[in-house]
Amino acid sequence: MAHLSASLSPPRPVSSRSFTLVSSSSSDDGEDDAPLPFPTALPRSDFLAPDFDPAEYLSSLANRHQTLEDLRSDLRERSAAISTELLELVNTNYTSFLSLGDELKGGEDKVEDVRVALLGFRRAVEEIKGRVRERGTEVGGLNKDLTGVRSDIETGRKMMELDERISALEARLAIGSTGHDTDESDEDEEDDEDELEGAVGSSSAKLAQLANQYVTIDELADDIGRETLFVRKTEERLIRCRNTILLDLGTALREAKKAGVRGHAKLLKLMTIYALVDAQAEAVKALKSN
């Protein structure tokens, strides 16, 4: 543009923000070029975009009819204008800025009140937590006590059942009376087809029932605990019941041996009953003694 301006005659002042278009060097009409359109002011909204990028924005102004110096001058003037506006805003609201400190004055008391209230609330929460922990410990202890009481109740029921079963077995064995329960003995003998005619001892069916009752009682005593005082006191009664059953088994065994071949079936049943009450040694001794 500098060499074009030098060729103009006569020269005339040109605005820094306007441009003149020179004629071609071959033109002889001597008419002056018309001035270029004055560039419009940069819109303020362009600078307020959230994604504003200076380099990108300047590159978008390539088609703007304005020199770089004019653009810099425009931006400086815009920056100065913004600073002036900011100063005017500060001066306008200066009184409010000064009164803001006065309004906040004395707020320390309110802050202290809030702090004290929060500390009191924290202490209350800690007290509640402590009470909850204590109650949890108390409830845990009560649950243990309840479990122990339930266990004691269950043990008591088993003890009562043990006593009832021993009494029933003693009644069937006629321990402490003059003889065995003849009605049940006769009924058992009628149901046992392998019983020998004229036998005076108990039938193998009745002996098997008695042995099963004894085994049930013995297992119940183990469940309660052999070291329990109640079980130790009933141990003597159990021993008497077992000895009575072995005595009846010995009598029936002798009768089966005397019967010879006819007594083999009953003999096998009696040996099974001996094994049921864990008395194999007594069975061998009974066989040898006869």
Least confident of 50-54, 121-125, 193-197, 217-221: 193-197
Pairwise pLDDT comparison (98 vs 197), residue with the higher score = 98
CB 230 within 8 A of CB 264: no
User: Could you tell me the pLDDT band of residue 1, with boundaries at 50, 70 and 90?
Assistant: very low
- Distance (Å, whole) CA 67 – CA 134: 85
In tens, the pLDDT along 134-157 reads 999 999 999 999 999 999 999 999
Alpha carbon distances (Å) from 20 to 1, 6, 34, 43, 67: 9, 12, 6, 25, 13
What is the DSSP code (8-state) at residue 66? -
Q: What is the pLDDT of residues 214-224, one digit of tens each?
A: 999 999 999 99
pLDDT (tens digit per residue) in 193-210? 555 554 445 688 899 999
Give the residue with greater pLDDT, 283 vs 114.
114
d(CA 156, CA 272): 34
pLDDT-derived band at 180 (thresholds 50, 70, 90) equals low
High-pLDDT (> 90) share of the chain, %: 28
- pLDDT digit string (tens) for 229-265? 999 999 999 999 999 999 988 888 888 888 777 878 8
**30 has a pLDDT exceeding 60:** no
- Output phi, psi for 43, to 5 deg: -65, 135
**CA proximity to 234, closest of 221, 219, 216:** 221
- Cβ–Cβ under 8 Å, residues 270 and 204: yes
Strand partners, 35: 20
Rounded to an integer, what distance in angstroms lies between the CA atom of residue 246 and that of residue 103? 108
pTM of the entire structure?
A: 0.49
SS3 of residue 20 by DSSP: strand
Residue type, 170: E
Residue 90, helix vs strand vs coil: helix
